[in-house]
Amino acid sequence: MPHKMTITGSATGPLREYDRYVAFDMREKGSPSAPKGLKKSTFISYTVFVAKKAFNKTGLTKKSIMHEKILVQGEPTLDIPIDECPGEIGIICFQITVLPNKNDKEANESKDKKEAQQEVAATKQEEKQDPVSQPIAKEEKKDAETVQPEAKKTPVQEQKAAPQKKQQPIQPKGTKDVVSFEDIIVPEAFLKTRPNPVKTEEVIEFVKRTGHLDKPLTIEKDSKVLKDGYRRYIVAKTVKMDKVPVVYA
């Protein structure tokens, strides 16, 4: 019955791929307890044969296998041709495991220890801050209670401010109504005239300063035909007024 073997080490040669398996060479120190009188073996070379499916599960590659420390469990074989088995002993592997690197293990242990210390320090810091946080919480609650009455006053203030927004713009003295500028019809007789540009400019400056015309326009109530105030009509058009003050003829 074949004897089971377990060896550890790293690959000493490149990975060789075959149809359904891969092979690689590795070596291990010989037995330190050789019988007295026999020459002690320094290293024993092995050629390991692994099924591709089992090898792929390890996550090893052609490059990484040269640097990773691995554990191989298998049985020695004498059925492999010599040219495919350059090692002193051929092993049919039935289990291969990647061993953790010593430096990585120490680094992980150090990292875990550091994180544990940080958690303990954070817990102690929170415990120290608890007595301080309670008065702060009370002050915040007091501030919140102070703010609430102000929030209740806000709708009242808005209600008082609302009527101010509805106030109509100031109109010139004598205004009887305010109509849309587009509704006013200008007779052809007015269109053939040209008001004095100096006086027209004066009215424009007055509107810019006060926000309204100096006098209302005179129109017919039903037809909205302009009867007087053609200059003010031109000014309203120039400053792009939507509504104009009027009196009825």
pLDDT digits (tens, 9 = 90+) for 224-234: 999 999 999 99
- Give the domain extent around 209: 177-248
pLDDT at 122: 75
**Percentage of the chain exceeding pLDDT 90:** 37
Least confident range of 6-15, 45-54, 156-165: 156-165
pLDDT at 207: 92
Beta strand 217-219 with 243-248 is parallel
pLDDT at 77: 87
Q: Is residue 230 part of a domain?
A: yes
pLDDT(149) > 70: no
Average pLDDT of the chain, as a whole number = 81
Question: Last residue of a domain, which of 64, 87, 103?
Answer: 103
Q: How confident is the model at residue 238 (pLDDT cuts 50, 70, 90)?
A: very high
Based on the fold, state whether residues 96 and 184 are members of the same structural domain: no
Q: Is residue 128 part of a domain?
A: no
Question: Last residue of a domain, which of 103, 127, 153?
Answer: 103
pLDDT at 224: 94
Q: Is residue 109 part of a domain?
A: no
pLDDT at 92: 92
Least confident range of 73-77, 93-97, 148-152: 148-152
Q: Is residue 168 part of a domain?
A: no
Q: Is residue 56 part of a domain?
A: yes
Based on the fold, state whether residues 92 and 182 are members of the same structural domain: no
Question: Last residue of a domain, which of 73, 103, 133?
Answer: 103
Number of structural domains in the chain: 2
pLDDT at 177: 93
pLDDT(150) > 60: no
Q: Is residue 133 part of a domain?
A: no
Q: Is pLDDT larger for residue 228 or for residue 35?
A: 228
Mean pLDDT, residues 129-136 taken together: 54
- Give the CATH number for residue 84: 2.40.50.140
pLDDT(91) > 70: yes
pLDDT at 78: 82
